[in-house]
């Protein structure tokens, strides 16, 4: 019994948040058994159904132990499903740029969007049975995989419809003005990807929902529009001018198009304060950077103050490394601006 408890606790740590379900708030009904049911040591095997078993030692509060065991049973259920999935979950990758490679800026935006969308939940998990002895509470969780897959397909279809509604828009104006109404679709694509991953986990055929050619074209078009945005960098103090060359080089390598004031869609106002020290043969350069992102009308979209650090045996190299880190911070802020603030 102790081994079972340890296993479920380990599964809980590894998969925290993965198996949260709407049914977890439902009161667990304790079924009286004259003896320990078989599922405590050997979960049932039934076609179309998945099971998980959780156990928790009772420390005075029986109801609390049953509730925790139910949570662990759901975690164990998801763990069992993951064991039988071969390979990684599907991940649609958009690739485009002059060289045929996805730019770092696009990857940064894509990764940021995905990080803001939680994993899809398994609301279909139910408590099938419970058993309590003198020391432990046991819970058997059950998932109807056919029913869960059907619900996930409906959710995917609803999400795709929302994307299609956005794609039907015909925005006019500048590059940024045309892009802005399309940006909410990025979050919808990320939500659809999460749902598709969950579908692959629970469906009997272990198949995700492939992105249609039409929807892939919509996704590619949005990222291509992001890729085509032009940025103007303006430095407003001596520290900014000292790192301007390194920042511009790094931004260009990331895929940002650097333009002049006339054709820029966004303006980056950069200020910096540099400090350095030498220790044990290494040079440390610290840059306190201040960035403001503005649109063509001068409206402030975002701003931050963050520190970057570069370390090297040569001071110039340390400064270059710190400047590149500033550029990476700027790319991260641009991603957050596009996803969260340009709506």
pLDDT in tens, 247-273: 999 999 988 899 877 789 999 999 999
pLDDT in tens, 101-120: 568 889 999 999 999 998 88
pLDDT at 17 over 90: no
Nearest to residue 195, comparing CAs of 166, 225, 165, 162? Answer: 162
Is residue 133 located within the same domain as residue 239?
no
Report the domain count for the chain. Answer: 2
Residue 73, in any domain of the structure: yes
CA gap 18, 30 in Å, rounded:
25
Is residue 129 located within the same domain as residue 255?
no
CA gap 69, 77 in Å, rounded:
12
Residue 179, in any domain of the structure: no
Is residue 129 located within the same domain as residue 17?
yes
Range of the domain at 237: 230-341
Instruction: Please compute the mean of the pLDDT values over residues 327-340 and round it to a whole number.
Output: 92
pLDDT at 15: 37
pLDDT at 72 over 90: yes
Percentage of residues of the chain with pLDDT beyond 70: 84
pLDDT at 213: 96
pLDDT in tens, 189-244: 999 999 999 999 999 999 999 999 999 999 999 999 999 999 999 999 999 999 99
Nearest to residue 19, comparing CAs of 55, 66, 70? Answer: 70
Is residue 139 located within the same domain as residue 11?
yes
Residue 138, in any domain of the structure: yes
Residue 151, in any domain of the structure: no
Residue 283, in any domain of the structure: yes
Residue 118, in any domain of the structure: no
pLDDT in tens, 39-49: 999 999 999 99
Higher pLDDT, 159 or 30: 159
Instruction: Please compute the mean of the pLDDT values over residues 139-147 and round it to a whole number.
Output: 96
pLDDT at 183: 95
Is residue 130 located within the same domain as residue 245?
no
pLDDT in tens, 74-90: 999 999 888 766 544 44
pTM of this structure: 0.80
**What's the whole-number average pLDDT of the chain?**
85
Bridge partners, residue 54, by sequence: 139
Give the DSSP H or E segment for 305: strand 300-312
pLDDT at 21 over 70: no
pLDDT at 122: 84
CA gap 210, 327 in Å, rounded:
35
Q: What is the CATH number of the domain that holds 283?
A: 3.30.160.150
CA gap 275, 128 in Å, rounded:
63
Sequence-distant (6+) residues with CB within 8 A of 185 are 162, 163, 166, 167, 218, 219, 222
pLDDT at 97: 43
Sequence-distant (6+) residues with CB within 8 A of 73 are 8, 52, 53, 54, 127, 139, 140, 141
**By the 8 A CB rule, do 149 and 199 touch?**
yes
pLDDT band at 6 (very low <50, low <70, confident <90, very high): very low
pLDDT in tens, 161-188: 999 999 999 889 999 999 999 999 999 9
Burial of 206 (0-12, 13-18, 19+ CB in 10 A): middle
Instruction: Please compute the mean of the pLDDT values over residues 261-289 and round it to a whole number.
Output: 92
pLDDT at 306 over 60: yes
**By the 8 A CB rule, do 321 and 311 touch?**
yes
233: Cα within 13 Å, side-chain hemisphere: 25
pLDDT band at 278 (very low <50, low <70, confident <90, very high): very high
């Amino acid at each position: 019994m102790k081994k079972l408890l340890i296993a479920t606790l380990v599964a809980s740590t590894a998969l925290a948040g993965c198996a949260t379900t709407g049914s977890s708030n439902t009161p667990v009904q304790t079924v009286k058994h004259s003896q320990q049911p078989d599922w405590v040591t050997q979960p049932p095997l039934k076609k179309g159904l998945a099971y998980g078993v959780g156990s928790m030692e009772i420390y005075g509060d029986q109801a609390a132990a049953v509730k925790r065991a139910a949570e662990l049973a759901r975690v164990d259920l998801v763990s069992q499903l993951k064991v039988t999935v071969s390979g990684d979950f599907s991940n649609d990758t958009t690739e485009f740029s002059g060289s045929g490679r996805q730019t770092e800026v696009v990857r940064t935006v894509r990764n940021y969007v995905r990080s803001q969308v939680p994993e899809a939940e398994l609301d279909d998990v139910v408590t099938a049975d419970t058993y309590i002895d003198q020391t432990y509470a046991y819970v058997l969780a059950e998932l109807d995989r056919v029913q869960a897959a059907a619900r996930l397909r409906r959710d995917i279809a609803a999400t795709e419809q929302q994307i299609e509604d956005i794609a039907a828009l015909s925005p006019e104006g500048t590059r940024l003005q045309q892009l802005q109404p399309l940006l909410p679709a990025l979050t919808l694509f990320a939500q659809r990807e999460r749902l598709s991953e969950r579908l692959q986990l629970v469906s009997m055929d272990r198949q995700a929902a492939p992105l249609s050619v039409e929807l892939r074209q919509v996704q590619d078009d949005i990222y291509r529009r992001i890729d085509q945005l032009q940025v103007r960098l303006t430095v407003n103090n001596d520290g900014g001018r000292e790192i301007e060359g390194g920042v511009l080089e790094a931004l260009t390598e990331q895929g940002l198009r650097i333009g002049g004031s006339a054709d820029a869609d966004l303006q980056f106002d950069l200020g910096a304060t540099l400090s350095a020290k030498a220790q044990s043969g290494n040079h440390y350069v610290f840059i306190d950077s201040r960035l403001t992102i503005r649109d063509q009308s001068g409206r402030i979209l975002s701003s931050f103050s963050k520190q970057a650090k570069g370390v090297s045996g040569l001071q110039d190299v340390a400064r270059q490394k710190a400047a590149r880190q500033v550029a990476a911070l700027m790319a991260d802020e641009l991603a957050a601006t596009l996803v969260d603030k340009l709506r």
